[in-house]
Amino acid sequence: GRWRRAIEVPGTAALNKGKNAAPLSVSGASAGSCAAGGFYTDGSRHEQAFVETEVNGRWRRAIEVPGTAALNKGGANFTSVSCTGVGSCAGGGYYTDGSRHEQAFVVNEANGRWRRVIEVPGTAALNKGGNANTTSVSCAAALSCAAVGEYLDGSHRGQAFVVNKR
């Protein structure tokens, strides 16, 4: 195949009031079926996580990752996505909570609809230093994924976590 002409990520111009946006990860399950995610800067100059999906070769409008608005008090980022089939993806990143601590999240897409983010199970107990992030997600099948990331322990040392979805 041949690379097509680059286009603006649909919908990011309307979201990106702070004039800084970037996609950080993309994954394709089959020809014309992909997902991408990253961040945009809102009018308050906070980074917000976005995700977009390609269906039948057409990119849909980027949306704020569902659930991040309720959790995010100072910045969010969508850092990794992995897709296994049409409308079946998982991803992750981080959001900044009300205490200005970064918390790792994961999110799923099922039947073409992005679900609400959740904090990565178990990271609240690990992330005593207040800086956690999901850095990579990989899925072998719709219900079989793994994610890795980083957090700061109570001594402010960088540590690694791994989590599975089955």
Per-residue pLDDT of the chain (166 residues; tens, 9 = 90+): 789 899 999 999 999 999 999 999 999 999 899 999 999 999 999 999 999 999 999 999 999 999 998 999 999 999 999 999 989 999 999 999 999 999 999 999 999 999 999 999 999 999 999 999 999 999 999 889 999 999 999 999 999 999 999 8
The DSSP letter of residue 132 is: -
Q: What is the pLDDT of residue 20?
A: 95
- Name the pTM for this structure: 0.93
Q: Specify the amino acid at residue 83.
A: C
Q: What is the pLDDT of residue 143?
A: 81
H-type helices in the chain, by residue range? 12-15, 68-71, 123-126
